[in-house]
C-alpha cells in the first residue's frame, strides 16, 4: 500500500447530492444546521446546494437562502452546483458561494442527452463560452468533471480509451482558451465501478497526466464504494466526494435502484484505521449523521453511525 | 493486484450467522427453501444451522429438522456449527451434516469468557479432547478458527503477535495429537478490521505458514467488509464466509450495533467485476436474497439486490 496518501480530503456532498433525492424537503433552517454541523467536524469543503431548475429539483429551490443564512467560517469552501449559464449567474449573484471554474462532461451519449439535453459534441462546443463566462466573473477554469466515467445504465461499460480521449479533448479546449486543467474529477455516477476498474482507469490517467489532482465521486449502488475508494487511494487519489450517513441512498423512498455517495463517516473511519489523516472528528461526524437521519425521517445506510467508532480504543492504543 | 485469486469460494453462512439474530424465527420450511435457493445459485458450501442451546438461540432450535428435510445435492457441503461436545454429538447423530474437524479459539480473553464461559487457556486445554472426539467419529482435525482476530468490543485492538502466537500454540497442540493444521479461518467477529489490517495480518500469517489455506469471516459493522475482502484477495485469500442479502445486519431489530456478514451477492459482484470466478449465478442469488428479505420481513442491507446486477451488460461486452 505504498502509494496510500498521508492525507485525504473529503468533499461533503450530502446537502446537495444526498438531499436532492430525499422525498421530504428539508427546511432552510435544517439545511443550515446540517452544513454547520459538518463544518464543526472539520470538513473543509461542503457542497451546500445547487442552482438548478426548482421545478425539476424542488429539494434545492432554497439554495440561495441557505447560502444567505450560513455564517461562513474561515478555511472552509462552501461550494455549489450549476448546470447552465443561468444557474451560474444565480450562484454568482448570491455572493456567498465559493466558486469553482469547472467544466463537466459525460462519458455516455445517452445519459448526457437525458440529463442535459445536449450531445457530447455539443458539450464540448459550449466549453469555450463557459470558460469565457467564468473569466468575466474573475474565475479561472481549471477543473474538469467526467460523469459516468465507469459505466452507464443506458450504455453499459464505458471503455477507458473513450474516457481518456474525452479528457484529452477537454484539456485541449481549455489550453486553446488559455486555461490549464489542474483538477480532474472522475464520477461513478451510477455505481458501476469496481476496485479493479478504479486502479485501471486511475492508473491510465496518472500515467498520461501525472500533474493532475484527481478526485473520485463514488456511489455505493452495488456495495463497492468504500472498496473503490481504498483502491483509488492505493493509486494515490486523495480527494473524495462523500455524503454524511450515505445520504442519497434511500431504499424506502421509491428510488429503489439509486444509492447514495460513499458514506463520509465510513470512509473517514477506513482512512483513520489505515493511518490516513482526514482532519475530521469522526465522533462529531457520527452525531451529524444521526441528526441528518432524524431530519430526513428514515434510516440512512451509513454503517459506522450504527456500529460505532473505535475512537476511544484508538486513544488507548496511541 | 497480481496476487488476486482466479477463483474465490463463498461459504454461505446466512442461514446460520444471519438468521440467528433475526427477531422473526423462520419456519423449517422457509429455511429449507433458502438453503435450496442458495444451492441453486451454485454456492458449494452452506452453513445450514447450529447445534447450540435452543434456549439461548431459539432461531436455531430446528437445525436438526432442517437437515432432515433438505434434499442434499451432490457437490455441495451442508455444514453446521457446534460449540461443545453435546452439540457435536447432535450434529453427528443427525447423519446429514457434512462434518468439519474444526477447533475454535478466540483472541480476546473477555469475549471468550462471555461467549463460551472458558478462558483462552481452558480453550487450549480442551483441544486434545476435541481432537479425540473428532477422531472417534472418523473426522480428521485440520481446521482452526480464530474469532475476534482483529479487534474486540471489550478489549480493543488485538495485537497481531498475539494472534500469531495463539495460532502457533493451537498448531502445536494439533501436531502433538498427530493432526495437521491445513485450514485457518480468521474472523473479524465484531467488525473491527480495515483493509490495512487485513493485508498486515494476512501477510504475517502467510509469511509464517505459507502452506495454510486461509479463509476470512468478515462483518460489515463499520462499512469496510467488501473493502476488507478485496484487500485480503489481493493477498491471495480465496475463501470467504458471506451471508445472502447481508443477512444479520438489522438496524430495526434492536441489534443496533450488530451488522451482518459481508453480503454474498455484493462480494460475488465485486469478484465478477475484477475477473474472479465464483461459479455463482449472481442474478439467481439476488432472487434468493429478495426471497430471504421477504421472509425476515425487513429490508436487508445488501446493495446489489437493490442496485441491480450488470450481468446483461457483461454479456454484451463479452
pLDDT tens digit sequence for A56-73: 899 999 999 999 999 999
* Cα Rg, chain A, nearest whole Å: 19
Chain B interface test: which of A227, A282, A309 (most B C-beta within 10 Å)? A227
- Which residues are CB-neighbours of A130 under 8 A, at least 6 positions away? A85, A103, A141
**Is A88 among the domain residues?**
yes
Strand spans (E) along chain A: 9-12, 45-51, 77-82, 102-106, 143-147, 151-152, 156-157, 183-188, 213-218, 239-242
- Which residues are CB-neighbours of B207 under 8 A, at least 6 positions away? none
- Which residues are CB-neighbours of A220 under 8 A, at least 6 positions away? A191, A226, A246, A249, A259, A260, A261, A262, A263, A301, B303
Average pLDDT, chain B: 94
**Is B233 among the domain residues?**
no
User: Is A307–B224 a contact, with Cβ atoms under 8 angstroms apart?
Assistant: no
Q: Which residue has the higher pLDDT, B253 or A13?
A: A13
**Is A183 among the domain residues?**
no
- Count other Cβ atoms within 10 Å, centred on residue B96: 15
Q: What is the pLDDT of residue A194?
A: 97
Q: How many domains does chain A have?
A: 1
Mean pLDDT of A290-306: 94
Whether residue A93 contacts residue A59, with contact meaning beta carbons closer than 8 Å, is answered with: no
Sole residue written with cell 481452558? B122
E strand or H helix at B49: strand B45-51
**Is B232 among the domain residues?**
no
From residue A215, alpha-carbon distances to A87, B19, B55 in Å are 23, 40, 52
- Give the burial class of B185: count Cβ atoms within 10 A of its Cβ; 0-12 exposed, 13-18 middle, 19 or more buried: buried
**Known catalytic residue: A250?**
yes
Convert the pLDDT of each residue in B271-316 to its tens digit.
Answer: 999 999 999 999 999 999 999 999 999 989 999 999 999 998 987 7
**Is A60 among the domain residues?**
yes
Convert the pLDDT of each residue in B54-85 to its tens digit.
Answer: 998 999 999 999 999 999 999 999 999 998 88
- Which residues are CB-neighbours of B272 under 8 A, at least 6 positions away? B278, B282, B314
Q: Which of A147, A156, A58, A141 is nearest to A100 (CA)?
A: A141
Residue B227 forms contact with A (CB below 8 Å):
yes
- Which residues are CB-neighbours of A234 under 8 A, at least 6 positions away? A1, A3, A4, A199
Predicted complex: ipTM over 0.90 = yes
Q: What is the pLDDT of residue B254?
A: 43
Q: What CA–CA distance (Å, rounded) separates A99 from A43?
A: 17
Mean pLDDT of B181-190: 96
Provide the percentage of residues in chain A whose pLDDT is more than 70.
Answer: 96
Convert the pLDDT of each residue in B80-128 to its tens digit.
Answer: 999 888 999 999 999 999 999 999 999 999 999 988 889 999 999 999 9
Q: What is the pLDDT of residue B316?
A: 77
Provide the percentage of residues in chain A whose pLDDT is more than 90.
Answer: 88
Contacts of B159 in chain A (CB under 8 A): none
Going by DSSP bridges, is the β-strand pair A156-157/A151-152 parallel, antiparallel, or unpaired? antiparallel
Q: What CA–CA distance (Å, rounded) separates B241 from A155?
A: 34
**Is A49 among the domain residues?**
yes
Contacts of B263 in chain A (CB under 8 A): 223
Residue B270 forms contact with A (CB below 8 Å):
yes
CB burial string A73-92: b at 16+ within 10 A, e below: eeebbbbbbbeeeebbebbb
Sole residue written with cell 435457493? B37
Q: What is the pLDDT of residue A266?
A: 98
Residue A221 forms contact with B (CB below 8 Å):
yes
**B46 phi and psi, to 5 degrees?**
-130, 125
Q: What is the pLDDT of residue B249?
A: 64
Q: Which long-range contacts (CB under 8 A, 24 or more apart) does A206-210 make?
A: A206/A235, A206/A236, A208/A164, A208/A168, A209/A167, A209/A171, A209/A181, A209/A184
- Count other Cβ atoms within 10 Å, centred on residue A180: 11
Q: Give the three cell numbers for residue B80.
A: 453446521
- The end-to-end CA distance of chain B, in Å, is 22
Question: Which residues in chain B (188-217) have CB-CB distances under 8 A to chain A?
Answer: 191-192, 194-197, 199
Whether residue A47 contacts residue A81, with contact meaning beta carbons closer than 8 Å, is answered with: yes
Q: What is the pLDDT of residue A250?
A: 53
Q: What is the pLDDT of residue A253?
A: 42
Contacts of B303 in chain A (CB under 8 A): 220-223, 259
Mean pLDDT of A270-285: 97
Mean pLDDT of B238-266: 81
Query: If you write DSSP's letter for every residue of A49-81 in order, what string do you get?
Result: EEES-TTT-GGGTTHHHHHHH----TT-EEEEE
Convert the pLDDT of each residue in A159-195 to its tens digit.
Answer: 999 999 999 999 999 999 999 999 999 999 999 999 9
Sole residue written with cell 484508538? A314
Residue A256 forms contact with B (CB below 8 Å):
yes
Q: Which of A40, A22, A7, A1 is nearest to A276 (CA)?
A: A7
Specify the CATH number for the domain of residue B293. Answer: 3.20.20.70
Query: If you write DSSP's letter for every residue of B254-316 in order, what string do you get?
Result: T-TT---BPBHHHHHHHHHHTT-B----HHHHHHHHHHHHHHHTS----SHHHH---HHHHHH
pTM: 0.96
Convert the pLDDT of each residue in A24-36 to its tens digit.
Answer: 999 999 999 999 9
**Is A167 among the domain residues?**
no
User: Is A226–B221 a contact, with Cβ atoms under 8 angstroms apart?
Assistant: no
pLDDT surpassing 50 at residue A96: yes
Q: What CA–CA distance (Å, rounded) separates A18 from A166?
A: 27
Convert the pLDDT of each residue in A134-149 to its tens digit.
Answer: 999 999 999 999 999 9
Chain B interface test: which of A111, A159, A200, A224 (most B C-beta within 10 Å)? A224
Domain region containing A291: 7-99+243-318
Contacts of A299 in chain B (CB under 8 A): 251-252
Contacts of B222 in chain A (CB under 8 A): 266, 269-270, 303-304, 307-308, 310
**Is B39 among the domain residues?**
yes
Q: What is the pLDDT of residue B253?
A: 42
User: Is A222–B269 a contact, with Cβ atoms under 8 angstroms apart?
Assistant: yes
Q: What is the pLDDT of residue B257?
A: 63
Amino acid at each position: 500500500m505504498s502509494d496510500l496518501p498521508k492525507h485525504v480530503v473529503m468533499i461533503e456532498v450530502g446537502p446537495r447530492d444526498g438531499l436532492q433525492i430525499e422525498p421530504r424537503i428539508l427546511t432552510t433552517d435544517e439545511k443550515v444546521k446540517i452544513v454547520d454541523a459538518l463544518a464543526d467536524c472539520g470538513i473543509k469543503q461542503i457542497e451546500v446546494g445547487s442552482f438548478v431548475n426548482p421545478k425539476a429539483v424542488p429539494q434545492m429551490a432554497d439554495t440561495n437562502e441557505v447560502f444567505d443564512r450560513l455564517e461562513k467560517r474561515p478555511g472552509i469552501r462552501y461550494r455549489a452546483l450549476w448546470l447552465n449559464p443561468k444557474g451560474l449567474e444565480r450562484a454568482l449573484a448570491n455572493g456567498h458561494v465559493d466558486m469553482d471554474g469547472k467544466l463537466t462532461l459525460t462519458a455516455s451519449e445517452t445519459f448526457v442527452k437525458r440529463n442535459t439535453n445536449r450531445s457530447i459534441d455539443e458539450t464540448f462546443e459550449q466549453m469555450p463560452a463557459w470558460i469565457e463566462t467564468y473569466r468575466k466573473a474573475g474565475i479561472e477554469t481549471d477543473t474538469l468533471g467526467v460523469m459516468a466515467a465507469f459505466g452507464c445504465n443506458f450504455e453499459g461499460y464505458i471503455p477507458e480509451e473513450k474516457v481518456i480521449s474525452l479528457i484529452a479533448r477537454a484539456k485541449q479546449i481549455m489550453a486553446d482558451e488559455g486555461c490549464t486543467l489542474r483538477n480532474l474529477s472522475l464520477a461513478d455516477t451510477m455505481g458501476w465501478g469496481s476496485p479493479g476498474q478504479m486502479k485501471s482507469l486511475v492508473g491510465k490517467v496518472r500515467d498520461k497526466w501525472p500533474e493532475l489532482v484527481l478526485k473520485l465521486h463514488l456511489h455505493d449502488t452495488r456495495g463497492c464504494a468504500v472498496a473503490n475508494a481504498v483502491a483509488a487511494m492505493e493509486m494515490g487519489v486523495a480527494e473524495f466526494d462523500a455524503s454524511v450517513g450515505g445520504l442519497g441512498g434511500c431504499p424506502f423512498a421509491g428510488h429503489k435502484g439509486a444509492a447514495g455517495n460513499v458514506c463520509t463517516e465510513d470512509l473517514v473511519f477506513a482512512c483513520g484505521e489505515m493511518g490516513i489523516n482526514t482532519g475530521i472528528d469522526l465522533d462529531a461526524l457520527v452525531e451529524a449523521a444521526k441528526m441528518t437521519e432524524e431530519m430526513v425521517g428514515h434510516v440512512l445506510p451509513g454503517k459506522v453511525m450504527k456500529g460505532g467508532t473505535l475512537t476511544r480504543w484508538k486513544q488507548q492504543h496511541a
